[in-house]
Amino acid sequence: MNEPLIFELSAEGREGFSLPEADVPVRPVEKLIPAPLRRRVPPRFPEISELDAVRHFVHLSVKNHHLDRGFYPLGSCTMKYNPKVNETAAGLDGFTGLHPFQPVNGTRGALRMMGELADYLGAVSGMDAVTLQPSAGAHGEMTGLKVVRAFHESRGNPRRTVVLPDSAHGTNPASAAVSGYACVQVRSDNRGLVDLEDLDRHLDGETAAFMLTNPNTLGLFERQIASIAEMVHRRGALLYMDGANLNALLGIVRPGDIGFDVVHFNLHKTFSTPHGGGGPGSGPVGVRSPLAAFLPRPMIRRSAGGRYDWEADSEESASIGKMNAFYGHFAVMVRAYAYIRMLGAQGLRAVSENAVLNANYLMRRLEKSFDLPHPGPHLHEFVLSGDRQKESGVRTLDIAKRLLDYGVHAPTVYFPLIVHEALMIEPTETESRETLDAFAEAMESILAEIAENPEALHDAPRTTPVGRLDEGAAARNLDIRFRPG
Ligand SMILES: *Cc1c(COP(=O)(O)O)cnc(C)c1O
C-alpha cells in the first residue's frame, strides 16, 4: 500500500533513456545562456529507469477508485463509462495542434465541429441557440442567469428573485446569488415533486426565473411541468432547467417542448467526458430565440452564403460578453461530438432508456432492504434512506465507507437534503446486469454485517490505502508537500 515517492525510488546515475553520441558540434550551455539566467543548482529530478517510472505511476493509478477500476454509482454525477475512442478523437493532431489565435482559414474544421455540436445540443434540447463557452454545469447556470437578467433588464426591470425547490443542487442557489438574485425556496410535496400551491405563493412580478432540475434530484420526472411553466410565464418570469439529469431524457423529452426557456448541459456527464476529481468539463447553455441575442460571443454560426459552412460571429451588442477564454473547453467538446456522432439519434435514445432500466432494476432489489421514501416512478436514479439502519447506530456515512472495501465507489450521500440519511444511486446505462447484481449483493452483505456487529462498521474502510479520514480537516489542511529525506 505504501508506494514511495518517486524521489525515494531515485538512484544516482540511473537513467530512463539513452541518446546516441552527438554528431554535430557540441556547444557548452555557458555559451548559449547568459550567467544570470542559468540555474546555480541543478534541478532535482528523480533518477529512475523507464520501467520503474511506469510501475510507480501504475501503482499510484490504482490507489484511488476510478471508473476503469470499478462501479461508480455516484448519484447526480452520471459517472458512466467514457468510450476510449473519444480520447483518440480529442488527441488528434489537427485538434491538439490548433491555436486559438490561428488565422480562421486554418481552423475551419474546428469551427465546423463546434457549430455542429451546438446544433446537436439544440436538437436534443429543443432550444434555438446554444453557447459552448461555459466550463461546467455551475458556470452554465451562472451564464444562463446572466442571460435571464439581461433579458429582463432589456424590458426595463432585472427583477429581484430566483425561485428554487428545496431539492435543488447547491450550485443553483449559489449561481443565483452570484448573478445578483435573492433565492426563494419552494417546498416539495410528499411525492417529492414541486408543491404547486407553495410555488404559486412564491412567484410574483419580481421573480426573474424558476430554476428546476428535471428529472429532479430524487430521480423523479416533474409531471406537472405544463402547469409549472404556465404559472411561471404568467408572471413574466422565465423557466430555467438544470440539465444535469439529461441522461434520462435523450431522444424522449426535449426541455424546449415542455416549457423551459433556458437549459444548461453538463457535457462531462451526459455526453461522456472523464470528470472525476473536478477535471475539465463543459456546460453549454441553450436558450429559446427571445434570449439568443444575450448569449456570450463569439457564437459559431452557419455562414450566410459564404465560401465556408461555419464562422465565429462576435457581433451582438446585447450580449452579456465573454464567459471564458476563446471558445471554452475545446477538447471536452471534441469528446462530446465524437460520442454523439458515434451513437446517433437512436443510440442517444437507447442511452436514456437503458439508464432508466438499470436504475429501476437496482431500485426494485434494494427497496427490499432500505427505505425508499419516494416510490416514484423513477427515471435514471433513486434515493434510498438509511434511517432504518441508523436505529442500530450505523449511519449512511458508515455504509458508504464500507462499500469501498467491496471495491465500489460510494453513492452520493446526504443529498438531496430533503431525504434523511440519503443514499443517492445512479448506476448509468453502461453497467452490465452482473455489475448491478454484484453491487446489490455488496449492499445486502453490509446489512448482514450491521445485523451482526454494527460497531465494526465505524472502522470502515479497512482495505483502502488510507482508512477513515477526518474529511473536513483533510480538505482544509491539505498536506501534499514533498519533504526531501
Ligand atoms: C453536477 C450537477 C450540477 C453542477 O454541475 P458541475 O458541472 O459539477 O458544475 C448542478 N446540478 C445538478 C443537479 C448536478 O448534478
Residues 295 and 332 both lie in one domain: yes
Residues 305 and 423 both lie in one domain: no
| Contact (Cβ atoms closer than 8 angstroms) between residue 114 and residue 132 | yes
Q: Is 136 in the pocket of ligand 1 (CB under 6 A)?
A: yes
Is 78 a domain residue?
no
477 pLDDT above the threshold of 60: yes
- The vertex-262 CA angle with 259 and 263, nearest 5°, equals 100
**Residue range 52-63: average pLDDT?**
92
Residues 250 and 297 both lie in one domain: yes
Q: Is 281 in the pocket of ligand 1 (CB under 6 A)?
A: yes
What is the model's pLDDT at position 459?
95
Task: Using the mean position of ligand 1's atoms as its centre, give its distance from the Cα of residue 271 in Å.
Answer: 14
Which atom of ligand 1 sits closest to the CA of residue 242? 11
Q: Is 78 in the pocket of ligand 1 (CB under 6 A)?
A: no
* Residue nearest to ligand 1 atom 2, measured at CA: 244
- Helix (H) or strand (E) holding 89, with range, is helix 84-90
Q: Is 135 in the pocket of ligand 1 (CB under 6 A)?
A: no
**Residue range 281-292: average pLDDT?**
97
- For the chain, the domain total comes to 3
Residues 48 and 151 both lie in one domain: no
Residues 106 and 211 both lie in one domain: yes
Q: How confident is the model at residue 479 (pLDDT cuts 50, 70, 90)?
A: confident
Task: Using the mean position of ligand 1's atoms as its centre, give its distance from the Cα of residue 346 in Å.
Answer: 26
Which CATH number is 371's domain given?
Answer: 3.90.1150.10
Which atom of ligand 1 sits closest to the CA of residue 213? 13
Cα 484 from Cα 231, distance rounded (Å): 64
SS3 412: strand
Q: Is 86 in the pocket of ligand 1 (CB under 6 A)?
A: no
Name the residue range of residue 51's domain.
Answer: 1-61
Task: Using the mean position of ligand 1's atoms as its centre, give its distance from the Cα of residue 171 in Å.
Answer: 7
Cell of 233: 410565464
Cα 338 from Cα 125, distance rounded (Å): 18
Residues 231 and 135 both lie in one domain: yes
Cα 132 from Cα 286, distance rounded (Å): 9
* Residue nearest to ligand 1 atom 7, measured at CA: 137
What is the model's pLDDT at position 483?
60
481 pLDDT above the threshold of 70: no
Is 71 a domain residue?
no
Q: How confident is the model at residue 484 (pLDDT cuts 50, 70, 90)?
A: low
Cα 188 from Cα 217, distance rounded (Å): 11
At 102-129, the pLDDT tens digits run 988 889 999 999 999 999 999 999 999 9
350 pLDDT above the threshold of 90: yes
308 pLDDT above the threshold of 80: no
318 pLDDT above the threshold of 90: yes
What is the model's pLDDT at position 475?
85
Q: Is 76 in the pocket of ligand 1 (CB under 6 A)?
A: yes
At 195-214, the pLDDT tens digits run 999 999 999 999 999 999 99
Which CATH number is 217's domain given?
Answer: 3.40.640.10
Q: What is the mean pLDDT of the chain?
A: 94
Task: Using the mean position of ligand 1's atoms as its centre, give its distance from the Cα of residue 212 in Å.
Answer: 12
* Residue nearest to ligand 1 atom 4, measured at CA: 137
Cell of 165: 425547490
2 pLDDT above the threshold of 80: no
Torsion region of 43: left, alpha or beta (phi above 0 gives left; psi -120 to 50 gives alpha): beta
Q: Is 427 in the pocket of ligand 1 (CB under 6 A)?
A: no
**Residue range 159-178: average pLDDT?**
97
**Residue range 339-366: average pLDDT?**
98
Q: Is 412 in the pocket of ligand 1 (CB under 6 A)?
A: no
Is 359 a domain residue?
yes
Pocket test for ligand 1, best of 217, 266, 418 (most atoms within 8 A of CB): 266
**Residue range 235-254: average pLDDT?**
98
Last residue of a domain, one of 341, 374, 408: 341
At 370-415, the pLDDT tens digits run 999 999 899 999 999 999 999 999 999 999 999 999 999 999 999 9
Q: How confident is the model at residue 307 (pLDDT cuts 50, 70, 90)?
A: low
What is the model's pLDDT at position 225?
98
**Residue range 25-45: average pLDDT?**
92
What is the model's pLDDT at position 138?
97
**Residue range 299-324: average pLDDT?**
87
| Contact (Cβ atoms closer than 8 angstroms) between residue 414 and residue 422 | yes
Residues 111 and 57 both lie in one domain: no
Is 70 a domain residue?
no
